[in-house]
């Protein structure tokens, strides 16, 4: 294998890493504040990486089997890059006129995204861990970015301590797996588990790995950090937290469980079923009492992770397709909702309480309309795309015989519908408060675009479902 | 052989003593010094295993950098251990229960441990037997695992950027040394010779 053959499958990652270094230099040596410029350049870099990923090699392993690329990883990467790019646009909008914003912000986001790319492509427990740490370390810094704010620093410290604990659990599990199998490569672990006598040791190892990963996607009972971190971090950073790392984390989760640990499916299925049920129920129930929009979104994302995990439980092609499609819909819904939350400004001051939305339909009907559509979609009510996302997941569960899981999911979404619909009630039927400032152009476009997409995707989901199908097939081929 | 086993028991005993002292010292500075002692013993154990490179790394990195950093932090933060230990008795039952459960689980795992069929074959990285440990590690690290090496570099870069972002402040009005200004200064700009008449002073 010549040098270029080795590097070619990782062109998107290499391109992003070099660009990150160049942008960092640009930020340091440019005397003016370059946050906005760098944010746009970072978006361009992500677009370039997505282009390289799509046009690059379909199916390859490289770097001594540490790195893999196939239709599944390409689909996941592009989805994650789109989510990260859109949230970066929100960041650039917010950075104008915010004292908190500095040029390091987009750079650290870019490094976090590189970490997620490495995670999605990991084909070995060590490369999984290195990618995960690159991502987590960047996220800790982002959470505490608003460093003079006591809540933000608390969020950062909390996230860091708990995250380090979760990484420890993951590493401990990995070491047990390595001790059992004698290798860290995904394929060899799968063969070892298939051939060998399977005892408690390997199962405990898998459970530890699952706990570590469940923390990273904030599934119950490893979700405690989520509301505090979401509330403390600057709003566009919260948007970033709730989208790209979730997509990367869940795709990695899928690859780990369907890859090396596939032979032990009966063992891990029980664990994931429990996590999924707890996340769905707790995500819906705990959200009811929330007063802060960002905390509400935290619980909402916990709930959504619960639904997405059903696709994982099923553990076949249909489940993977459901998971990917669900993540796509989730991405669009969340970007749109956070665009609305970022527009909750009165005279340049950001508001975060749910009650601030009251009477929005009278003061800003367009915004209220967009949020109403997004909330209907979050609740999974047709004719919005959120319904289809849940539909494909539940169909996969029912076809595989997980009736109880589907029923719990349905019940949880009914409970969840209460607080999503409550927002709509507050906007349309309560007395109007102070009118919000007009949203900026980018935010407005993202808001309108995502709510229109919710309806469009409901009518023509086929292209995306087919894409997800192809990606899911690649996952189970090898 | 007897020397080796005696040395093993000596160093591991010392390591355990050191570790216990780390937790039970009242003065955090003493704790860090005991920690350094423990590191040295662990390094000696690595030497006994024939892993001299890991031993040296342990001394250089952990004793030379990490422990000294701890020492600085401990001295600068002026931690009051009594305050930290306040909740100790309150949380002891919960902590002890969890610890016992984990210990039991570990015992079950270790007791019923099996290896996969080819685990021992897979575990070995093939190198020529002529080279030293350090060279063998280098050959694997910069070839097969070059990807991980580079990715770890990115992780460290992020850690550095993060530390700077979260702590560095640009305060206006801070006086800094500007060497070029100092060198370019000439006596004409700053020194004025004044003739003072006796009894009048400067006005």
Residues B27-79: tens digit of each pLDDT = 888 989 999 999 999 999 999 998 889 999 999 999 989 898 988 888 888 77
Which of B98, B139, B141, B148 is best to mutate for the A interface (most A CBs within 10 A)? B148
Which of A26, A69, A112, A134 is best to mutate for the B interface (most B CBs within 10 A)? A134
pTM value is 0.91
* Structure confidence at residue B203 (pLDDT): 63
Lowest mean pLDDT among A95-99, A150-154, A351-355, A468-472: A95-99
Q: Enumerate the H helices of chain B as residue ranges.
A: 2-24, 28-49, 52-57, 68-77, 81-84, 88-111, 119-123, 133-141, 146-167, 179-184, 187-190
Which of A64, A109, A164, A172 is best to mutate for the B interface (most B CBs within 10 A)? A64
Query: Quick check: A172 pLDDT over 80?
Result: yes
Q: Verify whether the Cβ–Cβ distance B119 to A196 is below 8 Å.
A: yes
Residue in chain B closest to A201 (alpha carbons) equals B109
* Structure confidence at residue A445 (pLDDT): 93
Q: What percentage of residues in chain A have a pLDDT greater than 70?
A: 99
Q: Provide mean pLDDT across the span A189-200.
A: 85
CB nearest A180 (choices: B119, B121, B161): B119
Is residue B115 situated within a structural domain? no
Minimum distance, in Å, between the CA of residue A383 and any CA atom of chain B: 44
CB nearest B147 (choices: A63, A102, A180): A63
Is residue B32 situated within a structural domain? yes
pLDDT tens, position by position, B106-158: 898 888 888 887 777 777 777 667 788 888 888 888 988 999 999 999 999 99
Angle formed at CA A401 by CA A400 and CA A405, multiple of 5 degrees: 105
Q: What is the CATH number of the domain that holds B32?
A: 1.20.120.1200
Minimum distance, in Å, between the CA of residue A199 and any CA atom of chain B: 7
* Structure confidence at residue A3 (pLDDT): 66
Q: Provide mean pLDDT across the span A42-62.
A: 92
**Chains A, B: CB contacts under 8 A, how many?**
116
Task: Give A382's pLDDT tier (boundaries 50, 70, 90).
Answer: confident
Domain range for B39: 7-79
Contacts of A179 in chain B (CB under 8 A): 113, 115
Q: Verify whether the Cβ–Cβ distance A64 to B162 is below 8 Å.
A: no
* Structure confidence at residue A21 (pLDDT): 96
Is residue B45 situated within a structural domain? yes
Minimum distance, in Å, between the CA of residue A24 and any CA atom of chain B: 10
Task: Give A97's pLDDT tier (boundaries 50, 70, 90).
Answer: low
First to last CA, chain A: 22
Task: Give A2's pLDDT tier (boundaries 50, 70, 90).
Answer: low
Q: Verify whether the Cβ–Cβ distance A126 to B120 is below 8 Å.
A: no
Q: Provide mean pLDDT across the span A96-121.
A: 89
pLDDT tens, position by position, A449-466: 999 999 999 999 999 999
Is residue B85 situated within a structural domain? no
Instruction: Characterize A228-263 residue by residue with b for buried, 16 or more Cβ atoms within 10 angstroms of its Cβ, and e for exposed.
Output: bbbbbbbbbbbbbbbbbbbbbbbbbbbbbbbbbbbb
* Structure confidence at residue B82 (pLDDT): 67
CB A299 within 8 A of CB A241: no
Residue in chain B closest to A185 (alpha carbons) equals B122
Give the residue with greater pLDDT, A281 vs B90. A281
Is residue B131 situated within a structural domain? no
DSSP assignment of A420-445, as one string?
HHHHHHHHHHSPP-SPPPPPPHHHHH
Minimum distance, in Å, between the CA of residue A144 and any CA atom of chain B: 8
* Structure confidence at residue A38 (pLDDT): 92
Count CB neighbours of B166 within 10 A.
15
Is residue B30 situated within a structural domain? yes
Q: Verify whether the Cβ–Cβ distance A192 to B148 is below 8 Å.
A: no
Q: What percentage of residues in chain A have a pLDDT greater than 90?
A: 68
Q: Verify whether the Cβ–Cβ distance B115 to A104 is below 8 Å.
A: no
Contacts of B155 in chain A (CB under 8 A): 130, 133-134, 137
Is residue B194 situated within a structural domain? no
**How many structural domains are present in chain B?**
1
Is residue B118 situated within a structural domain? no
Name, in order, each residue with C-beta under 8 angstroms of A122's C-beta and a sequence gap of 6 or more. Answer: A66, A67, A68, A128, A131, A252, A255
Residue in chain A closest to B155 (alpha carbons) equals A134
Name, in order, each residue with C-beta under 8 angstroms of A331's C-beta and a sequence gap of 6 or more. Answer: A79, A82, A83, A243, A247
* Structure confidence at residue A209 (pLDDT): 95
pLDDT tens, position by position, B91-116: 889 999 999 998 998 898 888 888 88
* Structure confidence at residue A412 (pLDDT): 93
CB A101 within 8 A of CB A35: yes
Query: Quick check: A1 pLDDT over 60?
Result: no
Bridge partner residues of A353 (DSSP) = A292
Q: In whole angstroms, give the CA distance from residue A77 to residue A251.
A: 9
Q: Provide mean pLDDT across the span A274-302.
A: 93
Count CB neighbours of A65 within 10 A.
17
Element (H, E) at B116: none
* Structure confidence at residue A476 (pLDDT): 85
**Exposed, middle or buried, A210 (CB in 10 Å: 0-12/13-18/19+)?**
buried
Query: Quick check: A176 pLDDT over 60?
Result: yes
DSSP assignment of A343-367, as one string?
T-EETTEE--BGGGGTTHHHH-HHH
CB nearest A204 (choices: B109, B114, B162): B109
* Structure confidence at residue B168 (pLDDT): 83
Q: In whole angstroms, give the CA distance from residue A333 to residue B100.
A: 45
Task: Give B174's pLDDT tier (boundaries 50, 70, 90).
Answer: confident
Q: In whole angstroms, give the CA distance from residue A169 to residue A191.
A: 24
* Structure confidence at residue B185 (pLDDT): 86
* Structure confidence at residue B23 (pLDDT): 87
Tell me the pLDDT of chain A averaged across its residues. 91
């Amino acid at each position: 294998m010549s040098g270029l053959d080795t590097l070619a499958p990782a062109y998107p990652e290499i391109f992003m890493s070099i660009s990150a270094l160049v942008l960092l230099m640009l930020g340091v040596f440019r005397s003016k504040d370059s946050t906005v410029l760098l944010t746009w350049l970072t978006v361009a870099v992500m677009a370039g990486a997505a282009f390289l990923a799509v046009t690059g090699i379909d199916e390859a392993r490289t770097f001594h089997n540490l790195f893999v690329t196939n239709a599944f990883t390409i689909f996941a990467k592009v989805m994650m890059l789109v989510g990260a790019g859109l949230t970066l646009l929100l960041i650039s909008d917010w950075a104008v006129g915010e004292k908190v914003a500095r040029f390091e912000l987009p750079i650290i986001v870019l490094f976090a995204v590189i970490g997620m790319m490495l995670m999605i492509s990991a084909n070995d427990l060590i490369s999984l861990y290195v990618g995960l740490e690159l991502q987590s370390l960047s996220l800790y810094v982002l959470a505490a970015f608003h460093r003079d704010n006591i809540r933000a620093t608390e969020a950062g410290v909390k996230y860091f301590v708990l995250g380090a604990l979760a990484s420890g659990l993951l590493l401990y599990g990995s070491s047990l797996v390595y001790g059992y199998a004698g290798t860290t490569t995904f394929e060899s672990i799968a063969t070892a588990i298939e051939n060998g006598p399977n005892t408690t040791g390997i199962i405990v190892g898998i459970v530890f790995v699952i706990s570590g990963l469940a923390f990273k996607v904030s599934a119950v009972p490893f979700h405690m950090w989520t509301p505090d971190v979401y509330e403390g971090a600057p709003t566009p950073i919260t948007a970033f937290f709730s989208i790209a790392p979730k997509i990367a984390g869940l795709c990695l989760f899928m690859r780990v469980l369907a890859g090396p640990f596939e032979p032990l499916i009966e063992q891990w299925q029980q664990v994931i079923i429990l996590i999924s049920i707890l996340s769905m129920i707790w995500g819906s129930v705990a959200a009811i009492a929330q007063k802060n929009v960002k905390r509400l979104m935290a619980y909402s994302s916990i709930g959504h992770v619960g639904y997405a995990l059903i696709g994982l439980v099923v553990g076949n092609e249909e489940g993977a397709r459901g998971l990917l499609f669900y993540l796509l819909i989730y991405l669009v819904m969340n970007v749109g909702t956070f665009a609305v939350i970022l527009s909750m400004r009165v005279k340049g001051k950001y508001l975060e309480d749910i009650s601030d939305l009251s009477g929005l339909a009278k003061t800003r009907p367009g915004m209220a309309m967009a949020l109403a559509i997004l909330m209907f979609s979050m609740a999974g009510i047709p004719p919005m795309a959120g319904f289809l996302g849940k539909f494909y997941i539940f169909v996969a569960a029912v076809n595989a015989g997980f009736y109880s899981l589907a029923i719990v999911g349905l019940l949880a979404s009914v409970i969840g519908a209460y607080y999503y619909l409550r927002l709509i009630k507050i906007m349309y039927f309560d007395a109007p408060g102070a009118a919000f400032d007009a949203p900026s152009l980018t935010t407005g476009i993202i808001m309108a675009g995502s709510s229109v997409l919710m309806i469009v995707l409901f009518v023509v989901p086929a292209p995306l479902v087919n894409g997800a199908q192809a990606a899911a097939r690649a996952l189970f081929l090898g | 052989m007897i020397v080796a086993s005696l040395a093993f028991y000596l160093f591991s005993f010392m390591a355990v003593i050191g570790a216990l002292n780390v937790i039970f010292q009242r003065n955090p500075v003493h704790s860090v010094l005991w920690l350094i002692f423990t590191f040295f013993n662990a390094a000696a154990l690595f030497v006994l295993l024939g892993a001299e490179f890991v031993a040296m790394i342990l001394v250089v990195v952990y004793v030379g950098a990490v422990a000294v950093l701890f020492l600085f932090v401990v001295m600068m933060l002026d931690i009051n251990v009594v305050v930290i230990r306040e909740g100790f008795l309150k949380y002891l039952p919960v902590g002890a229960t969890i610890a016992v459960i984990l210990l039991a689980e570990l015992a079950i795992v270790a007791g019923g441990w099996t290896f996969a069929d080819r685990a021992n074959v897979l575990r070995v990285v093939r190198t020529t037997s002529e080279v030293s440990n350090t060279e063998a590690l280098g050959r694997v690290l910069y070839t097969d695992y070059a990807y991980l090496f580079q990715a770890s570099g990115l992780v460290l870069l992020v850690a550095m950027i993060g530390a700077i972002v979260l702590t560095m402040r640009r305060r206006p009005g801070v006086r800094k040394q500007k060497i070029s200004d100092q060198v370019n200064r000439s006596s004409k700009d700053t020194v004025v010779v004044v003739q003072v008449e006796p009894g009048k002073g400067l006005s």
